[in-house]
């Protein structure tokens, strides 16, 4: 990437406004204690080794599985993909929010017969419970908000199901989540579903991909990066969460400080355009839901920030919004995509 040195400008004071609806939906998530990890405890009454009791700490809750779940629901395509890559497609009785992102071609074929419970939002309480699940796997706790008409975790428990939330999507982990949190999810789900070998293989592949990026960009100069989300004329800065860690792992320095008050309780904050202009990032990363939104966002950024280095250098990097969600293998793909754009000579 050819860049000229960034100009120094006075830094504006951050002024936040109401978050756009797409991001604001997640801001309603209640805080909860977070913990994650897997433990296997022998059950003396169970003579079958493979069916030893598995205990997993997840979002401050202890999940206990005496037997392997048989009816599993993926609450987002990212979770459905992970379950299928673990070889669990025969256990899936439902997939949700299917329009949020497109499954990879090899996964889409295997998911073709899995019932769709919802398309652009979490499934209604009745629709989810009708599948008689014993395990529901979700990217965040938002999918269990009873006030939105979704089945709460307590309601699932009352109906014989347990909920596993992606480690990076646990409420009080959301702002400090890291890309490697997905490795904990792979390990946990591998233990719960009694497929440890498949989990180890998938985890090793993920670690190898991250290591390859680390090796390629090691010692490279880190360009300044602003990560934004544009919805209509609303502009939000991403300053924390797994989204910010993706920028860090890709070899960029976020111009927004995750320790700033604006990001104390939520990973994003709506901003005025001058917040980008004053920081003059060398690259801008933005999440999109598809080609149409990408084109609109590029036009907005180019017309709003013509003198910002990122626009002048054509360093506007689009990433699938779905790859920025917690608990998805897409996080690793996002690191790879952004790293290749920030450090083209390293790949």
The answer to whether the pTM exceeds 0.75 is yes
The average confidence (pLDDT) of the chain is: 88
Q: What pLDDT is stored for residue 31 in this prediction?
A: 35
Overall average pLDDT of the 142-170 stretch? 97
The more confident residue out of 265 and 162 is 162
Q: Which domains does the chain have, with CATH numbers?
A: 54-165 (3.40.50.1980), 221-342 (3.40.50.1980)
Lateral strand order in the sheet of 61-65: 36-41, 53-58, 61-65
Q: What pLDDT is stored for residue 38 in this prediction?
A: 52
- Asked if 171 and 190 count as a contact pair (C-beta separation under 8 A), the reply is no
- Asked if 87 and 79 count as a contact pair (C-beta separation under 8 A), the reply is no
- Asked if 240 and 267 count as a contact pair (C-beta separation under 8 A), the reply is yes
Overall average pLDDT of the 126-147 stretch? 97
Q: What pLDDT is stored for residue 238 in this prediction?
A: 92
Contacts of 72 (CB under 8 A, 6+ apart): 83, 88, 91, 92, 93, 133, 134, 135, 136, 137, 193
Tell whether the model's pLDDT for residue 3 goes beyond 80.
no
Provide DSSP, 234-301.
Answer: EEEEE-SHHHHHHHHHTT-EESS-TTSGGGSS-SEEE--THHHHHH--SEEEEEESSHHHHHHHHHHH
Confidence label for 271 from pLDDT (cuts 50, 70 and 90):
very high
Tell whether the model's pLDDT for residue 231 goes beyond 90.
no
Overall average pLDDT of the 155-161 stretch? 97
Q: What pLDDT is stored for residue 124 in this prediction?
A: 98
The more confident residue out of 20 and 298 is 298
Contacts of 192 (CB under 8 A, 6+ apart): 38, 54, 56, 63, 65, 68, 69, 135, 164
Q: What pLDDT is stored for residue 30 in this prediction?
A: 37
Report the percent of the chain where pLDDT is more than 70. 86
Tell whether the model's pLDDT for residue 51 goes beyond 80.
no
């Amino acid at each position: 990437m050819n860049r000229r040195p960034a100009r120094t400008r006075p830094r504006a004071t951050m002024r936040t406004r109401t978050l756009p609806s797409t991001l604001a939906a997640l801001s309603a998530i209640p805080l909860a204690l977070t913990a994650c990890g897997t433990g296997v405890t022998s059950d003396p009454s169970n003579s079958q080794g493979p069916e030893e009791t598995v205990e997993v700490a997840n979002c401050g809750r202890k999940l206990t599985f005496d037997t392997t779940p048989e009816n599993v629901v993926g609450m987002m395509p990212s979770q459905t993909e992970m379950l299928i890559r673990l070889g669990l497609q025969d256990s899936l009785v439902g997939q949700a929010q299917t329009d949020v992102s497109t499954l990879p071609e090899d996964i889409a074929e295997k998911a073709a017969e899995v019932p769709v419970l919802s398309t652009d939002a979490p499934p209604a309480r009745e629709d989810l419970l009708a599948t008689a699940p014993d395990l529901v796997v979700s990217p965040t706790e938002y999918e269990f908000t009873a006030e939105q008409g979704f089945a709460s975790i307590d309601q699932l428990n009352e109906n014989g199901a347990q909920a596993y939330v992606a480690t990076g999507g646990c409420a009080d982990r959301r702002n400090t989540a890291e890309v490697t949190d997905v490795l904990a999810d792979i390990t946990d789900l591998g233990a719960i579903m009694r497929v440890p070998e498949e989990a180890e293989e998938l985890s090793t592949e993920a670690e190898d991909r991250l290591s390859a990026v680390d090796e390629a960009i090691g010692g490279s100069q880190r360009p300044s990066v602003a990560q934004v989300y544009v919805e209509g004329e609303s502009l939000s800065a991403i300053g924390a969460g797994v989204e910010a860690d993706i920028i860090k792992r890709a070899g960029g320095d976020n111009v927004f400080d995750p320790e700033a008050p604006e990001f104390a309780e939520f990973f994003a904050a709506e901003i005025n355009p001058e917040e980008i202009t004053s920081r003059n990032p060398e690259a801008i990363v933005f999440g999109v839901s598809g080609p149409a939104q990408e084109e609109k966002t590029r036009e907005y950024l180019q017309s709003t920030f013509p003198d910002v280095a990122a626009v002048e250098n054509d360093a506007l990097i689009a990433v699938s919004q779905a790859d920025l969600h917690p608990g998805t293998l897409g996080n690793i793909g996002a690191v790879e995509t952004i790293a290749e754009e920030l450090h083209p000579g390293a790949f």
